[in-house]
């Protein structure tokens, strides 16, 4: 891929992450675990796990947006660094959204193919959180489709470089 295409991709990814980041940050600033527990039947431990995963998503999304913008505007442009950042975005943001390490929610892959929202929860969560997740799911799906190239390409390059 040419430098100009990767630069453009960094800028597009940064913009998408900033949009997602604004939405999740506003939500995180307006809601709390205690308000959730008052509004739903979930147990406190599950709520803590969801909030922990959600806070990570807020941080990863905002940090990655800044990193993409910085790499895209940095001169001289480093294609290798750009690819590393996009690979990191794929894992820290996209994969963490669809499959958090703590498994507090999961992706129902059948729903994804039918056009319905694919993120499912193990317990009831407040409807406003479900709405937020539905709202950011499509941008994350677009990022996934855009960046899954880096998942395989970057790993292939890393394996080849260790064999050399």
Is residue 164 in some structural domain? no
Fill in the DSSP letter of residue 141.
H
In which domain, by residue range, is 34 found? 3-155
Contact 41/123 with Cβ under 8 angstroms?
yes
Is residue 119 in some structural domain? yes
User: How confident is the model over 60-84, as pLDDT tens digits?
Assistant: 999 999 999 999 999 999 999 999 9
Is residue 161 in some structural domain? no
Contact 44/54 with Cβ under 8 angstroms?
no
Domain count, the chain: 1
Is residue 160 in some structural domain? no
CB neighbour list of residue 5: distance below 8 Å, 6 or more residues apart: none
pTM: 0.87
Partners of 105 in the beta sheet? Answer: 121
Q: Alpha helix (H) ranges present in 74-116? A: 79-89, 96-98, 109-114
Is residue 60 in some structural domain? yes
User: How confident is the model over 20-55, as pLDDT tens digits?
Assistant: 999 999 999 999 999 999 988 889 999 999 999 999
């Amino acid at each position: 891929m040419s430098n100009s295409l990767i630069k453009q991709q960094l800028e597009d990814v940064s913009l998408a992450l900033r949009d997602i980041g604004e939405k999740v940050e506003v939500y995180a600033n307006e809601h709390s675990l205690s308000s959730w527990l008052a509004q739903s039947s979930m147990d406190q431990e599950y709520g803590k796990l969801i909030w922990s995963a959600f806070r990570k998503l807020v941080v990863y999304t905002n940090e990655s947006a800044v990193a993409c913008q910085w790499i895209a505007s940095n001169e001289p442009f480093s294609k290798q660094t750009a690819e590393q950042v996009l690979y990191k975005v794929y894992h820290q943001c996209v994969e963490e959204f669809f499959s958090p390490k703590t498994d507090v929610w999961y992706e129902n892959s059948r729903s994804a193919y039918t056009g319905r929202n694919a993120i499912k929860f193990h317990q009831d969560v407040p409807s406003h959180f479900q709405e937020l997740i539905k709202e950011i799911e499509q941008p994350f799906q677009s990022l996934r489709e855009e960046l899954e190239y880096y998942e395989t390409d970057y790993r292939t390059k890393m394996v080849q470089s260790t064999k050399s």
